[in-house]
Amino acid sequence: MRAVTINENVQGGLPCFAGTRVPVSSLFDHLQKGYTVAEFLADFPSVRVVQVQAVLETAKSDAASHAERVGSQ
């Protein structure tokens, strides 16, 4: 099962939760505003918890590739 798909005909090609029209950015917008994952899922019932978990895990594992190394080396 894919958690995210991109379709040029859905939401202008934004990454969306697979099988929905819900952009992944909506999850991060909700979290940034202080909402919980449960509240996000309540607002977007077409999104499954496993999809959210997969997106968050991907973001977590990818964070290091966007980090700047500082300090002694």
Q: Model pTM?
A: 0.86
Q: What confidence tens digit (pLDDT) does each residue in 15-66 have?
A: 999 999 999 999 999 999 999 999 999 999 999 999 999 999 999 998 888 8
What CATH number does the domain containing 35 carry? 1.10.10.10
In a domain, 11, yes or no: yes
In a domain, 73, yes or no: no
Confidence of residue 73 (pLDDT cuts 50, 70, 90): low
In 3D space, the residue among 28, 12, 22, 15 whose CA is nearest the CA of residue 47 turns out to be: 22
In a domain, 69, yes or no: no
* pLDDT on residue 72: 65
CB 16 within 8 A of CB 2: no
Q: How far from chain centre, in Å, is Cα 55?
A: 5
Domain that holds residue 11: 4-64
In 3D space, the residue among 1, 71, 72, 7 whose CA is nearest the CA of residue 24 turns out to be: 7
What does the alpha-carbon distance between residue 31 and residue 39 come to, in Å, rounded to a whole number?
A: 9
In a domain, 70, yes or no: no
Task: Spell out the residues 6+ positions from residue 58 whose beta carbon is closer than 8 angstroms to its own.
Answer: 3
- How many structural domains compose the chain? 1
* pLDDT on residue 36: 98
In a domain, 41, yes or no: yes
